[in-house]
């Protein structure tokens, strides 16, 4: 944190980073004025930034493009080099990886493998995810992704044939994750989900009878920045622990990033008051008990 001097957006999921900004420790920079960035050693940009307009000190930071959860988390090593904390970055990643693998090995011993559908709704169409890191999460949590023989991934709710096919597929699903993007996560509830699902005969839908419909927007800032794209990237062991509880409920574990729509769980708003440490004190990874 002490090495961070500027940001380009007020949409911040990290409470401590938000606190740092509000204390005047960070400069707000305009992305459309590249000359503002020339004073810094490194300017980190995402994969969709226009590299042609950047100063020569730009650094591509693209964990979002990786195929597995651990590959995404490993980018902390890359950041560690620029912040001159490479040793600590390696230690953090090793701790995260060790915890993740312990949990994954524990889940691998489960004989029953619940079938999981990770899907999203947009403009009248349901789409099953093909994002590799999400499918990997399901496998590592002890679940089973939809049959690969299902080569059609989009289903229009206004088309009878599509809805019949979608109904038949969902009748095989035990746990459903709704990744629908919405401008109002706080208002997205079970009623809206069922309205979008638009299926009258729900008798065979196990994820409804078992109340297992989830969203990964449990943690978000007051300006709706999802911690799924921040904290969940750096601590995949917490995501995996969430998924294991979703697939194999124990009742004694509280999920971090996922909320249960059918049980009325609401999104949690993160503000300055949620920063539980000094802003210049390094954050420690959360290690889940695992044997």
Tokens of 92: 């953090």
The pTM of the full predicted model, rounded to 2 decimals, is 0.94
Residue 9: which of 283, 270, 223, 233 has the closest Cα?
A: 223
Question: Tens digits of per-residue pLDDT, 218-233?
Answer: 999 988 999 999 999 9
Do residues 82 and 59 lie in contact, with contact meaning Cβ atoms separated by under 8 Å? yes
Do residues 186 and 215 lie in contact, with contact meaning Cβ atoms separated by under 8 Å? no
Higher pLDDT, 140 or 44: 140
Do residues 127 and 119 lie in contact, with contact meaning Cβ atoms separated by under 8 Å? yes
Q: How far is CA 228 from CA 55, 82, 225, 287, in A?
A: 29, 24, 9, 18
Question: Tens digits of per-residue pLDDT, 18-62?
Answer: 999 999 999 999 888 878 888 898 988 886 666 666 667 888 899
Per-residue model confidence (pLDDT) at position 151: 83
């Amino acid at each position: 944190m002490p090495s961070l001097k500027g940001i380009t957006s007020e949409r911040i999921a990290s409470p401590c980073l938000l606190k740092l900004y509000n204390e005047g420790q960070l400069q707000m920079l305009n992305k459309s004025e590249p000359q503002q960035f020339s004073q810094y050693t490194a300017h980190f940009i995402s994969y969709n930034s226009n590299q042609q307009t950047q100063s020569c000190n730009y650094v591509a930071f693209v964990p979002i493009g990786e195929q597995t959860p651990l590959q995404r988390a490993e980018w902390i090593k890359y950041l560690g080099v620029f912040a001159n904390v490479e040793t600590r970055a390696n230690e953090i990643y090793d701790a995260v990886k060790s915890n993740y693998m312990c949990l994954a090995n524990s889940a691998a011993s489960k004989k029953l493998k619940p079938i999981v559908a990770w899907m999203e709704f947009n403009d009248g169409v349901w789409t099953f995810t093909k994002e590799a890191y999400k499918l990997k999460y399901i496998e590592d949590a002890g679940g089973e992704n939809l049959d690969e023989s299902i080569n059609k991934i989009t289903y229009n709710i206004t088309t009878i044939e599509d809805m019949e096919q979608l109904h038949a597929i969902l009748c095989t699903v035990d746990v459903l994750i709704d990744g629908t993007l919405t401008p109002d996560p706080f208002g997205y509830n079970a009623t809206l989900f069922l309205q979008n699902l638009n299926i009258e005969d729900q008798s065979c839908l196990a994820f409804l009878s078992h109340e297992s419909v989830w969203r990964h927007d449990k943690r978000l800032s007051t300006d709706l920045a999802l911690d799924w794209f921040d904290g969940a990237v750096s601590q995949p062991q917490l995501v995996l622990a969430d998924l294991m509880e979703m697939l194999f409920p124990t009742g004694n574990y509280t999920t971090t990033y996922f909320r249960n729509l059918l049980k009325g769980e609401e999104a949690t708003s993160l503000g300055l008051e949620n920063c539980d440490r000094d802003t210049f004190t390094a954050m420690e990874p959360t290690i889940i008990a695992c044997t």
